[in-house]
Amino acid sequence: MPKKTAKTAAPYASLTLLNRNHKAYPEHPDQAPLETFENRFAKRDYWITFDCEEFTSLCPVTSQPDFGTIRIRYVADKLCVESKSLKLHLFAYRNVNTFHEEAVNRILDAFVAACKPRYAEVEGVFRPRGGIAITALASYGRKPA
């Protein structure tokens, strides 16, 4: 493994969670800010995809748990989102009473605020409750060709 130098560590100095024994889990997504790092390929359009297959939130009416998969696809501009901060942000929804559609849109808003991508979409595929499964898809920006 290459030795870490000041030059190689500098672009990532702002990341506070990665490669740390982090044990404090936020109670709410507002307490879990998304961290970013410089996109070294900002002149190129390319897709980045995150899949969170263990997303949970609470029904706003019954407070029963809801389970689903969140997929985030985006084309970065100047910044990329660091995955551990995203994991903590998404896991913080486990205590939040929210409708599926609201959760998907709130996740997109936080994502866009953090990294200002050229394009982003957040899709939530939620398991059935009461016999109906729900899929919600929210997008931001102009989809690349």
> In whole angstroms, what is the distance from residue 73 CA to residue 135 CA?
15
SS3 for 71-82 is EEEEECCCEEEC
Look up residue 3 and give its amino acid: K
Query: Which of 52, 66, 80, 115 is flagged as catalytic?
Result: 66
66 is catalytic: yes
To 5 degrees, how large is the angle CA 41–CA 43–CA 44?
Answer: 70
Q: Which of 30, 45, 59, 115 is catalytic?
A: 59
User: Does the annotation mark 80 as catalytic?
Assistant: no
For helices 100-115 and 83-91, give the axis angle rounded to 10 degrees: 150
Q: Which residues on adjacent β-strands are paired with residue 81?
A: 36
- The DSSP code for 97 is B
Using alpha carbons, list the distances in angstroms from residue 88 to 6, 43, 82, 119.
27, 29, 11, 22
User: Which residues form the catalytic set?
Assistant: 59, 66
